[in-house]
Amino acid sequence: MTIKHHLTESLLMGYAAGSLPEAFNLVVASHVSLCDDCRAAVESYEALGGAVLDDAQVAMAEDGLADCLARLETAAAEVETAPPAPRSANQAHSLPAPLRDYVGGDMDAIRWRPVGGGVKQAILRTSESASARLLFIPAGSAVPDHGHRGVELTMVLQGAFADATDRFARGDVEIADEDLEHTPIADIGADCICLAATDAPLRFRSLIPRLLQPFLKI
Amino acid sequence: MMQQRAVPTAPSSGPPAHVMRGVIAMGSWRLNDKKSAIEVEKAGLSRDMALIREARDRAAFARLFGHFAPRIKGFLIKSGTEPSVAEDCAQDVMVTVWKKAHLFDPARASVATWVFTIARNRRIDLARREKRPEPEDLGWGPEPDQTQDETLVMQQDSERLGTALAALPDAQRLLIEQCYFGELSHRDIADVTGLPLGTIKSRIRLALDKLRHAMGSTP
């Protein structure tokens, strides 16, 4: 698997700095689970965070250390908790680990809801500032032509889709903003499953999907 | 200030197998062999982490507390946390350092980096009450005979990064810091500083390019 479409520098830095909304964090964590280059970049930005700490020193209260040492007494019991076992690496048909946490299982645990034209979606529970959902696009089908009010990140988890800009396969992320109007079409070979996150509702061009938008929560 | 200790001997052979993981862990930032007084202090931090991990050493914890607690508190305050809450949370973070010491892998991150990630997650929890999705664990355990080399590399990289950051022009360094202190998007930073969004982005990019250059690689 070769990932062609990566995350931007500001998304990677924002993830390391902790300034992205939860839904975007989920896309970054999922992509980084499959992409060593972006993982390396995130770890570099975390190292920069460690360096930034040096410029932020405020004296602790006089008894701060004593208080903290006292708290270690009660904390001691939890010390032996084992690290989480490394999970099964990335088989081509499984969800990256951070997504499995949100779905409550792997691909077969996704609770799909039809949205018309064979397209299905499952909304994931994240904080309000941005929304995340899984999209199922049947092989050869299209998602209705739509534009974006904010930023939309779409990461392919299975199959592939193409739009006017390029083709996107497993692990690839398409970053769309106000300027992109596109009609993603799934490859004919396999149904396409994507993770999409946006900080604003999508804006459909045709009237019917636009009327349905409040009910579909997309 | 930390008491000074001997530094582990530098690896005498050329880049060994750890380089692959070093490169992955540090992105494009490479190592060199320069030592400094502060580096000895950083070596102390990493030694103290090992003492906590292996011997539950409270004196080592007290030294780490002396170094990191004021930094965590400052980080939280600069991120908009009330000073009294920041004091308490800095203690929380240090308790987490104690509790999770066995998860710290000196071959993958410096102590400062690791403590930063714990403080950052605490801040996200504090400000937004939301969880932070973490990437799938690669399950790389440290290989015992290489840990010392890799730890040294991490310390050196961490130290050089700190020096490079301090050497940036004020305007650039402050922008980088604002990216880490708080919830500011580039657009918010533009509002706060009065700079147009394009200028912010190019200054941050310039600052990052300078850091990469200082770390011994071209962007």
In a shared domain, residues B128 and B201:
no
Task: Say whether both B100 and B28 belong to one domain.
Answer: yes
Helices (H), B56-169: 58-78, 83-99, 111-128, 147-167
Same domain, B160 and B193: no
Domains defined along chain A, listed by start: 9-54 (1.10.10.1320), 97-216 (2.60.120.10)
SS3 per residue for A32-66: HHHCHHHHHHHHHHHHHHHHHHHHCCCCCCCCHHH
Confidence of residue A145 (pLDDT cuts 50, 70, 90): low
Residue B7 lies in a domain: no
What's the domain range around B93? Answer: 15-132+147-167
Residue A218: is its pLDDT beyond 60? Answer: no
The reported pLDDT for the residue numbered B52 is 94
Inter-chain residue contact B99 with A44, CB threshold 8 Å: no
Q: In chain A, whose CA is at the least distance from the CA of B139? A: A86
Where does residue A208 rank: exposed (0-12), middle (13-18), buried (19+ CB within 10 A)?
exposed
Are residues B36 and B92 located together in one domain of the fold? yes
CA distance B6 to chain A (A): 23
* Number of Cα atoms under 13 Å in the Cβ half of residue B171: 10
Domain co-membership, B22 together with B72: yes
Bridge partner residues of A142 (DSSP) = A185
CATH number of domain containing B184: 1.10.10
**Number of structural domains in chain B:** 2
B201 lies in the same domain as B177:
yes
pLDDT digits (tens), chain B, 219 positions: 444 444 444 333 333 333 333 333 344 343 444 445 555 566 789 899 999 999 999 999 999 999 999 999 999 999 888 999 999 999 999 999 999 999 898 888 899 999 999 999 999 888 877 788 998 876 554 444 555 667 677 777 888 888 889 989 888 888 888 889 865 666 666 666 677 777 777 888 888 888 888 887 544
Q: Is the pLDDT of residue A35 over 50?
A: yes
Minimal Cα–Cα distance from B65 to chain A, Å? 7
CB A44 within 8 A of CB A17: no
The token pair that represents A117 in the structure block: 């034209």
Residues B100 and B173 in one domain: no
Do residue B80 and residue B66 come from a single domain? yes
pLDDT tens by residue, A158-187? 999 999 889 999 999 998 877 777 788 999
What are the chain A neighbours of B120 within 8 Å (beta carbons)? 17-18, 49
For residues B69 and A112, what is the distance between their CA atoms, to the nearest angstrom? 46
- B137 inside domain: no
Residue A204 in 3-state DSSP? Answer: strand
Query: Considering CB atoms only, which of B69, B135, B166 is closest to A98?
Result: B135
Residue B20 lies in a domain: yes
List the A167-169 sheet strands across, edge first: A167-169, A160-162, A185-186
What is the interface pTM, i.e. ipTM, of the complex?
Answer: 0.85
At A65 the pLDDT is 95
